[in-house]
């Protein structure tokens, strides 16, 4: 978890927003005419790209670079994948897609904080 409420709230806002926006894009782009696996994979890419653009154009200037880029892209990737898959299986209401996106975004931020708490300060090679 970052130091200070500004970055804590910024991380949560970034992750949730990226998840919701990616989910919204995917619920409009994918429907039951798509084969599930293709929809899942394509929505994953759509979600990542949407989240990356959102991070680059809006979120990074306020809340950080990789600390924003990585969680938002992960949120976009997972939100896109799950919403795309769900939308290809049965009809999905927009509000439900938003809830999926928000929840996935929040979980992604928590996951990144957890992993970071294990890795931060550790000496490593890439």
Partner 1 sequence: MTDTLTRDKWDRAASTFDLMAGGGAEKRWKTAKQHLFSHMGDGTILFMALGTGLDIPVFPPGKTITAIDISPKMLHCAQPRIAAYDGSINALTMDVHAMDFPDQHFDQIFTSCTFCSVPNPVEGLRAIKRVLKPGGELFMFEHTGSQFFPFKLMMDIMTPLSRKVGPEMNRPTSANVSAAGFEITKIENIYLDVVKTIYARVPSSPPESSRDSPEQAS
Alpha-carbon distance values, 36 to 74, 106, 123 (Å): 20, 25, 42
Q: What is the 3-state secondary structure (H, E, C) of 98-126?
A: HHHHHHHHHHHHHHHHHHHHHHCCCCCCC
Least gap, CB of 123 to partner 1 (angstroms): 5
Nearer to partner 1, 27 or 44 (CB): 44
d(CA 2, CA 5): 8
Number of residues located near partner 1, criterion CB under 8 A: 35
H or E element in which residue 67 lies: helix 66-89
Q: Give the distance from CA 3 to its chain's centroid.
A: 22
- Around Cβ 103, how many Cβ atoms within 10 Å? 16
Pick from 49, 103, 106, 110: which binds partner 1 (CB under 8 A)?
A: 49
Pick from 2, 29, 96, 107: which binds partner 1 (CB under 8 A)?
A: 2
Nearer to partner 1, 73 or 83 (CB): 73
Least gap, CB of 10 to partner 1 (angstroms): 7
Pick from 18, 40, 42, 112: which binds partner 1 (CB under 8 A)?
A: 112
Residues at the interface with partner 1 (CB under 8 A): 2, 7, 10, 45, 48-49, 52, 56-57, 59-70, 73-74, 77, 112, 115-116, 119-126
């Amino acid at each position: 978890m970052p130091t200070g409420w500004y970055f804590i709230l910024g991380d949560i806002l970034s992750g949730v927003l990226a998840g919701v926006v990616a989910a919204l894009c995917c619920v409009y782009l994918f429907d039951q005419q798509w084969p599930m696996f293709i929809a899942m994979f394509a929505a994953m890419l759509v979600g990542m790209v949407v989240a990356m653009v959102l991070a680059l154009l809006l979120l990074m200037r306020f809340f950080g670079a990789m600390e924003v880029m990585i969680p938002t892209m992960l949120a976009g990737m997972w939100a896109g994948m799950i919403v795309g898959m769900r939308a290809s299986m049965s009809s999905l209401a927009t509000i439900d897609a938003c809830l999926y996106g928000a929840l996935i975004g929040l979980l992604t931020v928590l996951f990144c904080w957890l992993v970071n708490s294990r890795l931060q300060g550790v000496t490593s090679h890439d």
